[in-house]
Amino acid sequence: MAKNLKLKNYISSLILLMFTSAAFGQGQLLISKEAQTARTDAYESELTKYLTNYLIDEYDARAAKAWNRDYSSIPAFIRSVEPNREKWASIVIKAPVLRKTGAVKIRPYNPGDLKAEWIEVPLGILKAEAILAFPPNASKDKPVPIIIVQHGIGSDPESTFEENGSIATEYHAYARALLKAGFAVLAPLNLRGIERRNYIESLCRLANISLPGIELARLQNLLDTVLNDPRINKEKVGMWGVSWGGLATQFFMPLEPRIKAGIVAAFFNERRNKMVLPDKRTSFWPNETHAAFSGWLTEFSDKDLVSLICPRPLMVQTGKKDEIGYWQQITAEFNSAKIPYQKLGIEDRISLLVHEGGHEPVTDEGVKFFTKWLMQK
């Protein structure tokens, strides 16, 4: 039996080889490489048109159905956008649950002439880390507001205290300016580097979470700790992010109500054009795959996402020489974003600062903004 089975298998293999040889013995292909490439190019073009149509052409109609804003009062407005807030949390951000798993470590941290503290909150395998600095006048008898200052993708927490944080982003020591104005500063450590974020974000997608979601959860744990410090007025928390720190501000404020006012510098954009259409007037992100967050452009272009920050005060800072976006398109997007503030009679709470510079914050105006909304209120 075994010999017969082996013989049958041998004959079957021989017949298959004969037919294969007959079909391909002359080196002929069933389709030429040129035809294969043309067909694949055509399919790619179809996919591009299909997705571009969905993401750009159909966006406004889709968003109009997804958002049902009620402008009869501020409380009514907040309730009316709550379903969108829940979708932002569950579809795009997808933050994991991270809880403190041990004692918080706080140690003196004095790089250069900076007098500060380094804080670590253990979160199981992860930890949340940040620089915490206080103005000289802060005390339990005179608690001060605190501003979260978030560095960009090519920088570190220390960069926000430096005059020039990196080649790509100039920070103008805006964290120091806040300290001088009497604010405490919390500068979280987030993951720097495009390649690193590409890799980690790919793992996050497999786990159905996002890297911004992880970093939001880390920030929330940091706030749980620092807002218990008697030197801090826990009712007066702001956030000012630059570049990818601007993303953090714009992404986190909708889900963290303890942040009472925010500045988004060098990030707010006409998002559909930025992410979908290459434009010679702006930088395009073909290699920054980490930035293509699942579900982002279903209904959360920047002009709509601001509705989840409203009615809290918000300033957008953008430079005419900043290659991340075309300032006139950004202005048009902002004009749509501020409509809820206008209809609710609180237009003074939202502002756009278009400056002559590049990828950077405008320090003096930012400090004035937080002084108005967190010092004088």
319 and 270 in a single domain? The answer is: yes
94 and 40 in a single domain? The answer is: no
Q: Residue 329: its pLDDT value, please?
A: 95
Is position 5 within any domain? no
Is position 13 within any domain? no
What is the pLDDT averaged over residues 211-231? 98
Q: Residue 19: its pLDDT value, please?
A: 38
Of 186-195, 281-290, 306-315, 325-334, minimum mean pLDDT range: 281-290
What is the pLDDT averaged over residues 101-127? 97
Q: Residue 13: its pLDDT value, please?
A: 44
Cβ atoms 249, 262 nearer than 8 A: yes
Q: What is the pTM of this model?
A: 0.91
170 and 302 in a single domain? The answer is: yes
Whether the per-residue pLDDT at 27 is higher than 90: the answer is: no
140 and 43 in a single domain? The answer is: no
Tell me which residue of 249, 269, 245 sits closest to 171, measured CA to CA: 245
228 and 280 in a single domain? The answer is: yes
Residue 107's Cβ-count burial label (10 Å; 0-12, 13-18, 19+) is exposed
How many domains would you assign to the chain? Answer: 2
Cα 43 off chain centre by: 32
Tell me the percentage of the chain whose pLDDT exceeds 90: 86
Radius of gyration for the chain, computed over Cα atoms and rounded to the nearest angstrom = 26
350 and 203 in a single domain? The answer is: yes
Evaluate the omega torsion of the peptide bond into residue 311 and state whether it is cis, within 30 degrees of 0: yes
Q: Which residue would you say has higher pLDDT here, 163 or 109?
A: 109
Whether the per-residue pLDDT at 284 is higher than 80: the answer is: no
CATH of the domain at 337: 3.40.50.1820
Is position 319 within any domain? yes
User: Strand runs (DSSP E) across 184-247, as ranges?
Assistant: 184-188, 232-242
Whether the per-residue pLDDT at 16 is higher than 60: the answer is: no
Tell me the percentage of the chain whose pLDDT exceeds 70: 91
Is position 77 within any domain? no
- Cβ-based neighbours of 199, under 8 Å, separated by 6 or more: none
Whether the per-residue pLDDT at 361 is higher than 60: the answer is: yes
Task: For 301-318, give one letter per residue: b (16+ CB within 10 A) or e.
Answer: bbbbbbbbbbbbbbbbbb
User: Strand runs (DSSP E) across the chain, as ranges?
Assistant: 105-109, 116-123, 126-133, 144-150, 184-188, 232-242, 261-265, 314-319, 350-355
Is position 18 within any domain? no
Whether the per-residue pLDDT at 26 is higher than 80: the answer is: no
Cβ atoms 259, 239 nearer than 8 A: yes
On average, the pLDDT of the chain sits at 92
Is position 266 within any domain? yes
Q: Residue 54: its pLDDT value, please?
A: 98
What is the pLDDT averaged over residues 31-57? 96
103 and 55 in a single domain? The answer is: no
Q: Residue 168: its pLDDT value, please?
A: 59
Is position 256 within any domain? yes
Is position 78 within any domain? no
258 and 336 in a single domain? The answer is: yes
60 and 190 in a single domain? The answer is: no
Residue 358 phi/psi, 5-degree rounding, is -115, -130
**Cα-based torsion angle of the residue sequence 100, 101, 104, 109 in order, rounded to the nearest 10 degrees:** -90
Whether the per-residue pLDDT at 6 is higher than 60: the answer is: no
What is the pLDDT averaged over residues 217-240? 98
165 and 236 in a single domain? The answer is: yes
What is the pLDDT averaged over residues 215-242? 98
Of 205-219, 222-236, 271-285, minimum mean pLDDT range: 271-285
One-letter amino acid at 108 equals P
Which residue range is the domain that position 232 belongs to? 90-375
In angstroms, the CA 354 to CA 27 distance is: 63
- Return the structure tokens found at 149: 């200052």
153 and 190 in a single domain? The answer is: yes
